[in-house]
Chains A and B, each alone.
Chain A
Amino acid sequence: MMLQSTTAEIKPRSALRVNPAKTCQPIGALYAALGIHGCMPHSHGSQGCCAYHRSHLTRHYKEPVVATTSSFTEGASVFGGLANMTQALTNIFSIYNPDIVAVHTTCLSEVIGDDIPMMIKKSYDDGIIPSGKLVIHANTPSFVGSHMTGFSNMTKAMVTYLSDRNGSTKNQLNLIPGFIDPADMRELKRLAAMMNVNIVMFPDTSDVLDLPQTGIYKMYPKGGVSIPQLKSTGDSIATLALGHFASYAAATALNDKWEVTNAFLELPIGLGPTDRFINALRNYAGVDVPESIVQERGRLLDMISDMQQYFHGKRVAVAGDNDNVIALVQFLTELDMKPVYVITGSPGNHFETRVGEILKEQVPDAVIKQNTDLFALHQWMKNGPVDLIIGNTYCKYIARAENTPFVRFGFPILDRMTHRIFPTVGYMGAIRLMDKMFDAMMDHKDRECPEELFELVQ
């Protein structure tokens, strides 16, 4: 039996983490670094981390994910990783010739206290870094936060190292998209283009992790925010930062550095959050919302009214990354659903506060928890079943154990393919999410209902 040792009886746990709903910082940083054009992500630690992070991102995207590592040995772990870093940079620039190397750290180099800025400076001074080439870094200790923190730290590093200002305000908005798939980033760019708004989005993994099959492999694909674009972010009108945990740090850094106005928004998943995103584009860029976007919104509303009877009052369990879940829960309430268990593995009180606010009236007794795991979620489900579970691939074991309809959402999705192509953000993304939820619930009903209640038409 699936997950047979998970019982309804809940025993206290303060030290043992079981089936985490998060992973560690560097994978988020690696992902963010891939969103810079011509960038080689570099993991300063022992090579196992880098292998795991590349593998897991590849399993999620079914795309090449290239990164280098300092390949620490025991000696380096004791005496410091300077020689490894120097050798790595020498090799990286000679063999793979990136425009920029984005270094992140692991628990190993963090515990030994390697001073990365010193190493980078020394590498510039010693001519290890060829002229015109760049190296940036973010400290990403695995024992702090989660992969969301790592993403946030590397995105912030793009600002710290690269954001510049030449004084004349450019007719563009910065857009920090949060920890979302390339399809979502592409969708955000499409919406901005429809609105006639120039944006500089960073990081941007579209055209990096959703590549066409052409028979030609390119280590640095055409996608990614360019270095000149990143430099120009100090001259933008404003920064739209999507997602408290993934994007606010970079936006704040930009404001601190160049006083670029911030708009803090949630990820545009579902009706309300997308409305607010569109509205922010409209207000900050001083443009009108075009008819084509109004129509997309109308189609979403039409779908909601068509499907409403099937969603109304349904109990849902949601697990995933904090920003993404905050937005998704709003969408579920717009569908009259009842998210009864809402969890994230990542720490951060804002999650509980914000989800609590969203669910206060509709689901006052919802269990909302940050820094928890799928084992806990499963136990609650055993005590009070749900009609639908939404989360990453690891939730499929719970879905099978409890015979519960399941929708894959977030990171990582290791057992299905199209999430890198189809968005979940924007009005169209919302329609896709509804489609998946409806399919999951109806397939379940068609499989499980008594034969006499097997319906032709829904």
Chain B
Amino acid sequence: MSEQIKTEATSLPDPTQVREIMLEPYPAKTKRKRAKQVLVNDPETPPKIGANSRTVPGIITQRGCTYAGCRGVVMGPVYDLLQIVHGPVGCGFYAWLSRRNLARPDTGESNFLQYCMNTDMQEEQIVFGGEKKLKQAIQEAYDIFKPKAIAILSTCPVGLIGDDIHSVAREMKKKLGINIIGFSCEGYKGVSQSAGHHIANNEVFKHIIGQDDTTDTAKYTINILGEYNIGGDAWEIDALLKKCGIHVTATLSGDVNYGQLARCHTAMLNTVMCHRSINYIAEMMEKKFGIPWIKINFLGAESTAKSLRKIAQYFGDPELQTRVEEVIATEMTALQPVRDEVAAKHRGKKVALFVGGSRAHHYQDLFEDIGMKVVSAGYEFAHRDDYEGRHVLPTIKIDADSRNIEELHVEADPERYTPRISAERRTELVKEGLSFSEYEGMMAQMKKDTLVIDDISHYEIEKLIEIYKPDLVCSGIKDKFVIEKMGVPCKQLHSYDYGGPYASFSGAANFYREVDRMLSTKIWKFVVPPWEKEPQLEANFVHNVRIKDTKKETKKAA
């Protein structure tokens, strides 16, 4: 087996050369910058990557903005929190139902996901300020929709013209008697969606989490942090945990309601799916309420099993551990036939992944399940800790572009801080191999000499496809058709190409089948028309000769 991998590995192009080719056309300044973001991996000692730095203008980035990270990613999925985007119409419009964070509220609950509400700022508000219109919009939203709580989300011009959404929030909160929260997530802040995650985390932590101390009655309660229920992922995870007897207090923020957020600080454990978007809340909840967090990943059969075992280990109840093992065994048995079938067909095929801030790592586990080989991967907006592991955190310097993103100072809550496990128990668990507050990052998992590319540019993607000729690329909507026009199938790992779920064991089966479909479809074989494969006839009466020639030609080609 190891021999086989070795030969496969050596059949790949020299990554150092690929890197040179990718950087070759760049003007000097751009080249210096990109050189820090395009790296040849070494899992033993991951090289330092220039992540979370400003985007090079004009390079064709995949990145979005802070508003997208705050409103589109973290806050958008909270289905009964009425969200008003303060700004011109576009930002609200584009984030309206375009991310597939599904929800099924109970009867009688509000569901605002199908609504796009904004202040549709006009020139008059740019000139004279938009606070008056915002207040009026909040009043109207309250009168029409009777929400439990309202969020205000800022877009680019709001910060520039000096609208104070936080004082508007306070004033209207007093007037209407419901929670109203402002999010200063102007698009120009930070360098990507990432700043928006942080801003959303801060405000949710300050204004929502801890508002309601009602505890769940279940024995084992956990939160799933950084899981947005794309295509129903959170439902699969929920169902799986239920089988094991583990209760989810809140998922942040897939299919979640305001009430669940308000009392999620009562859970026994925080588990983190998307480290990038939610690690702030995980850290702050531990400091304030004493809830430890562990990194988990429910994408991939092996990693799902591993994550379940970690949670069971944390609670330390042998009965729970037995149940978890039973569930894993049953699920694995059910999954095995499709996994074997797909692996047999596609083992060794090459894949590259360029996705947001976590999936480029998580999905490597799904590909590992079926023996596919990751040749290159990268994030749009992850930080060094997501690449290199959290142990590099003390060495990360916040640069000028991100310095204005607020860091909350959090202290233990004088009344409600209760360490969920004793210090002794924690030490014991660590000795057993359970790591708390730890994430090893993407590079440690990737093979030596794979290419790690942060904030990949259009040019780099084109070169990558030309040189590696991957069998499959995972990316997003903006790249999908670029890649497919090159004759390579592209799996969207943001929207799942409107499929999914892919989480948990059942989701893994979906994903293997999906990969099989994409790699087996006939379409790519039809691209070259027959008349470009066959020699042209000089005259049509030489019928039989032609057939002979074609056969010869085909043989030669083979």
User: Which of A56, A71, A213 is packed against the most chain B CB atoms within 10 Å?
Assistant: A71
Q: A87-B29, A142-B88 are in contact. Are A17 and B481 (CB under 8 A)?
A: no
Knowing A4-B111, A69-B61, A91-B27, say if A46 contacts B188 (CB, 8 Å): yes
A55-B98, A108-B156 as given contacts; A48 in contact with B57, CB under 8 Å? no
CA distance A75 to B145 in the complex (A): 39
Residues from 102 to 137 in A contacting B, C-beta threshold 8 Å: 106-108, 111-112
Instruction: Report A-chain residues with C-beta under 8 Å of the C-beta of B55.
Output: 47, 69, 71
Q: Is B157 an interface residue (CB 8 A)?
A: yes
- Residues on A with C-beta less than 8 A from B480 are 58
Kindly provide the distance from the CB of A182 to the nearest chain B CB, expressed in whole angstroms. Answer: 14
User: Among the listed A11, A89, A394, A397, which residue makes an inter-chain contact with B140, where contact means beta carbons less than 8 Å apart?
Assistant: A11
Stretch of B114-122, B236-244, B318-326 lying at the A interface: B114-122
> Closest chain B residue to A92 by CB distance?
B58
Q: Give the shortest distance, in Å, between B287 (CB) and chain A (any CB).
A: 28
Return the contact of A46 from the options B134, B139, B187 (Cβ within 8 A). Answer: B187
Q: How far is the CA of A373 from the CA of B299 in the complex (A)?
A: 40
**Are A48 and B187 in contact, CB atoms less than 8 angstroms apart?**
yes
| A3, CB-defined interface residue at 8 Å | yes
Q: Across the interface, do A215 and B486 meet the contact criterion of CB distance under 8 Å? A: yes
Asked if residues A74 and B145 are in contact (CB atoms below 8 Å), the reply is no
Contact across chains for B56 and A48 when beta carbons are under 8 A apart = no
CB < 8 Å: which of A7, A14, A24, A58 contacts B478?
A: A58
Verify if A15 is at the interface (C-beta below 8 Å from B): yes
Is B140 a contact of A13 with CB atoms below 8 Å?
yes
Residues of A within 8 A of B156 (CB): 45-46, 77, 106-108, 111
Whether B404 lies near A74 (C-beta < 8 A) is yes
Q: Mark A1-33, 1 if CB is under 8 A from B, else 0.
A: 011110100011111111110111111000000
A325: Cβ under 8 A from any B Cβ:
no
Given A73-B54, A91-B58: A143 and B140 within 8 A (CB)? no
B460: shortest Cβ distance to chain A, in Å?
A: 10
User: How long is the Cα–Cα vector from A88 to B122 in the complex, in angstroms?
Assistant: 29
Q: Which residues of B contact A108 (CB under 8 A)?
A: 156-157, 160, 187-188
Question: Within 8 Å of chain A (Cβ to Cβ): is B67?
Answer: yes
**Contact bitstring A39-76, B, C-beta under 8 A = 1, else 0:** 00010011111011111101100111111111111111
Which stretch, B89-97, B169-177, B265-273, B303-311, touches the partner chain A?
A: B89-97
When chains A and B are docked, how far (Å) is the Cα of A2 from the Cα of B523? 37
State in angstroms the CA–CA spacing of A304 and B241 once bound together: 59
Q: How many A-B residue pairs have CB under 8 A?
A: 259
Task: Given A11-B143, A72-B188, A74-B188, decide whether A58 and B59 contact each other with a Cβ distance below 8 A.
Answer: no
Given A52-B64, A108-B188, the answer on whether A71 and B487 have CB atoms closer than 8 Å is no
Q: Mark A178-206, 1 if CB is under 8 A from B, else 0.
A: 00000000000000000000000000000
Kindly identify which residue among A20, A71, A76 contacts B61, using a CB–CB cutoff of 8 Å. A71
Closest chain-B Cβ to A153's Cβ sits at a distance in Å of 15
- Bound-complex Cα distance A69 to B191 (A): 13
Contact B110 A5 (CB under 8 A): yes
Query: B89: which of A15, A20, A96 is its contact (CB, 8 Å)?
Result: A20
Contact B88–A24 (Cβ < 8 Å): yes
Nearest CB on B from A108, distance (A)? 4
Given A51-B68, A59-B98, decide whether A85 and B57 contact each other with a Cβ distance below 8 A. Answer: yes
* Interface residue? A295 (CB, 8 A): no
Return the chain B residue nearest A58 by Cβ. B477
A449 CA to B233 CA, complexed, in Å:
38
Query: When the two chains form the complex, which single residue of A7, A20, A48, A92 contacts B65, counting CB atoms closer than 8 Å?
Result: A48
Which residues from chain B contact A55 at a C-beta distance below 8 Å? 94, 98, 476-478
B87 within 8 A of A: yes
Given A5-B144, A24-B88, A94-B27, are A76 and B487 neighbors across the interface (CB < 8 Å)? no
Point out the residues of chain A lying under 8 angstroms from B397, CB to CB: none
CB-contact partner of B157 in A25, A66, A143, under 8 A: A143
B230 CB, nearest partner CB in chain A, Å: 15
Tell yes or no: A214 within 8 A of B by CB: yes
Distance of A12 Cα from B187 Cα, bound (Å): 31
The answer to whether the Cβ of B410 comes within 8 Å of any Cβ in the partner chain is: no
**Interface assignment of B280: CB less than 8 Å from any CB of chain A:** no
Q: Does B297 contact A (CB under 8 A)?
A: no
Bound together, the chains give a CA A6 to CA B262 distance in angstroms of 27
The answer to whether A215 touches B115, judged by C-beta atoms less than 8 angstroms apart, is no
**B57 to A69, Cβ gap below 8 A?**
yes
Which listed residue, A107, A217, A218, touches B155 by the CB 8 Å rule? A107
A25 to B67, CA, bound (A): 18
CB of A95 closer than 8 Å to a CB of B? yes
A270 at the interface (CB under 8 A from B): no
Interface set, chain B 79-109, CB cutoff 8 A to A: 84, 87-98
Q: When chains A and B are docked, how far (Å) is the Cα of A91 from the Cα of B459?
A: 11
> In the complex, A211 Cα to B157 Cα: how many Å?
37
Cross-interface CB contact of B58 among A17, A51, A90, A217, cutoff 8 Å:
A90
Q: Which B residues are CB-close (under 8 A) to A141?
A: 123
Which of chain B's residues have a CB closer than 8 A to the CB of A23?
89-90, 93-94
> B393 interface residue, CB < 8 Å from A?
no
Query: A52–B96 contact, CB under 8 A?
Result: no
6 A-B pairs with least C-beta separation: A48-B65, A24-B90, A88-B58, A91-B58, A15-B136, A88-B57
With A49-B90, A66-B60 known, 17 other A-B pairs at CB within 8 A are A4-B111, A5-B110, A16-B118, A16-B144, A17-B120, A19-B96, A24-B93, A48-B67, A59-B477, A69-B61, A71-B63, A85-B57, A88-B57, A91-B27, A91-B59, A96-B60, A217-B482
> Chain B residues in contact with chain A, CB under 8 A?
25-27, 29-30, 54-68, 84, 87-98, 110-112, 114-123, 125-126, 133-134, 136-137, 139-141, 143-145, 155-157, 159-161, 187-191, 400-401, 404, 457-459, 462, 476-478, 480-487, 523-524, 527-528
- List, sorted by A's number, 8 A–B pairs whose CB atoms are closer than 8 Å: A52-B94, A58-B478, A69-B57, A72-B188, A94-B27, A108-B160, A345-B89, A394-B97
